[in-house]
């Protein structure tokens, strides 16, 4: 059994919904997600998912029940329940066709929590996938913005992560 605590070797992404909730940090150096208590920064637990090799981007759904974690080595998005009794699963996989990913590096849930926006870095596009990995939309007119490839119609935060999607059929927000 792994001891809770220790160091984060390579933090790539963080996610939390409110200042009193847990903070989720991808630890690429240790192939895991670290859960920190927001009130004091203490490690609550580590989340390890079988097959996860390089977690990078992370997003928490609006209901705070599921984490989406991009894995740039496995070329997929792991859907990880916050409840440790439930099983994680992977959506998408390596490839160049619509819905497939190569080196995904960031993600965000839509406001309704039914879809995930994924930065499909090496395919030079942003894709909107449902919770089973089925493609809703893609946009391949992209440029680099601080390491993330997004086009001018997408908003990015100071870290270069896209936070909003708004050029398909109406406004689809992933803030």
> pLDDT, tens digit, for every residue of 93-116?
999 988 899 999 888 887 778 888
- Compute and round to an integer the Cα radius of gyration of the chain: 15
Question: Mean pLDDT highest for which of 38-47, 71-80, 129-138, 166-175?
Answer: 71-80
> pLDDT-based confidence at 159, cuts 50/70/90?
very low
- Residue 175: what pLDDT? 38
Structure tokens at 128: 């909107």
pLDDT score at 77 = 96
Please list the helix, strand and coil fractions of the chain in percent, rounded to the nearest 5, in that order: 5, 50, 45
Round to whole Å and give the CA distance between 31 and 161: 21
Contact 32, 45 (CB under 8 A): no
Look-up of token digits 């150096």: 29
Residue 143, strand partner residues: 150
CA distances, 147 to each of 91, 109, 160 (Å)? 23, 20, 7
Mean pLDDT of the chain: 75
* pLDDT tens per residue, range 113-146: 888 888 888 888 888 888 888 876 555 443 333 3
* Model pLDDT, residue 31: 92
The string of pLDDT tens digits covering residues 46-67 is 999 999 999 988 988 888 899 9
Q: With 0-12 CB in 10 A as exposed, 13-18 as middle and 19+ as buried, what is 81?
A: middle
């Amino acid at each position: 059994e792994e001891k809770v605590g220790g160091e984060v070797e390579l933090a790539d992404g963080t996610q939390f919904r409110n200042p009193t909730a847990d903070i989720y940090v991808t630890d690429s150096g240790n192939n895991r997600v670290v859960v920190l208590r927001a009130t004091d920064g203490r490690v609550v637990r580590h989340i390890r998912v079988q097959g996860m090799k390089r977690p990078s981007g992370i997003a928490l759904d609006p209901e705070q029940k599921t984490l989406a974690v991009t894995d740039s080595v496995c070329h997929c998005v792991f859907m990880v329940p916050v409840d440790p009794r439930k099983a994680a699963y992977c959506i998408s996989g390596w490839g160049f066709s619509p819905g497939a990913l190569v080196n995904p590096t960031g993600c965000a849930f839509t406001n309704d929590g039914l879809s995930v926006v994924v930065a499909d870095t090496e395919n030079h596009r942003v894709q909107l996938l449902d919770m089973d990995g089925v493609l809703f939309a893609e946009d391949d007119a992209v440029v680099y913005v601080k390491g993330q490839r997004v086009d001018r119609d997408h908003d990015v935060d100071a870290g270069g992560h896209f936070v909003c999607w708004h050029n398909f059929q109406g406004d689809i927000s992933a803030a």
